[in-house]
Structure 1
Amino acid sequence: MTEWQEILEASEQMYWGLLGCRLVESHHEYIKIALTATERHLNHMHIVHGGVMMSMMDQAMGMMSMAVQGGQPCVTTNMNTHFVHSMGQGELYAIARVIHQAGRTMTLQAEITNEAGETGAIATATFIATRSK
């Protein structure tokens, strides 16, 4: 996790910090982040807003793509999400894995689960590593 320390500290003042995300595990096979869903993460139906879950998965997949590209920043070019179960307040986890890589382009998958192990959403996304300036 130390390779992420500088980036995550800077990100506390950005969207990552606004959401309340935390890095839980970072491996060459996957990245796992967490968020404690509170009332501020809910929609008018009192369930976690879909945008929160999409943001978590996008963050986890973005970090995984960056790790695969040796720290090179990557951007999302496409993301498809399926919401399969509503989530409530409490711990949420996003786990991201690489499905395919070809040069600067990668396809990843992510999943949101809660403490009970229920799946709230799944997504696939395509990322591209930015070119060095």
Structure 2
Amino acid sequence: MDMSEAEREAYIAKIAQAAEETFWGYLGCQVESLTPKQAIISLEATTHHMNLIGMVHGGVLSSLLDNAMGVLIASLLPGAKTVTTNLNVHYVAPMYAGKLIVTADLLHQSRKMLTVYGSITDSEGQLGSIGTGTFRIISGD
């Protein structure tokens, strides 16, 4: 779906508002940018995102990847319902409190499946995690 810049901004605001009451909002995710091939979200990692040894919890990192990938797919397929069928996460380096930036890029799309690549860096550009996700379209609008 091709959108004008104004339509894209309105769609981003609509997604962000709808997600605020979900797990997305609980984590504290923010949409930074959204294009037809890429989504960038961020999270200000604080104490409640940490594990017992002071690093961002792996579950938070995998959730961030899944959320960024899901936002990208939602922008590509407005009105469609999709589910994650596979999520592979590689924890490359520890991540700590501060701004985390998650980028999701579309790798492949077929009639019923999409494959997305994601990465998480800190505010200084240090890579912390990478992942791939496969998503199935379960219904369309």
- State the TM-score, normalizing by the size of structure 2: 0.89
Matched, 1:3 2:20: no
Question: How many residue pairs get matched?
Answer: 133
- Unaligned 5+ segments in structure 1 are none
Q: For 1:57-96, what aligned pairs fall within 5 Å after superposition?
A: 57-96=65-104
User: 1:6 Cα deviation (Å)?
Assistant: 2.2
CA–CA distance in 2 between the matches of 1:81 and 1:56? 11
Q: Which stretches of structure 1, 4 residues or more, deviate above 4 A after TM superposition?
A: none
- Unaligned 5+ segments in structure 2 are 1-8
Q: For 1:1-133, what aligned pairs fall within 5 Å after superposition?
A: 1-132=9-140
User: 1:68 Cα deviation (Å)?
Assistant: 2.1
User: What SS does the aligned partner of 1:40 have?
Assistant: helix
User: 1:66 Cα deviation (Å)?
Assistant: 2.0
CA–CA distance in 2 between the matches of 1:66 and 1:111? 18
Cα-Cα RMSD: 1.3
CA–CA distance in 2 between the matches of 1:67 and 1:26? 8
CA–CA distance in 1 between the matches of 2:34 and 2:10? 10
Q: Check whether the contact 1:107–1:126 (CA below 8 A) recurs between aligned residues.
A: yes
User: What SS does the aligned partner of 1:130 have?
Assistant: strand
Q: 1:22 is aligned with what amino acid?
A: Q
Percent identical among aligned pairs is: 35
Q: 2:107 is aligned with what amino acid?
A: I
User: 1:71 Cα deviation (Å)?
Assistant: 3.9
- State the TM-score, normalizing by the size of structure 1: 0.94
CA–CA distance in 2 between the matches of 1:67 and 1:3? 8
Q: Are the structure 2 counterparts of residues 99 and 132 from structure 1 closer, same or farther at C-alpha, using a change threshold of 3 Å?
A: closer
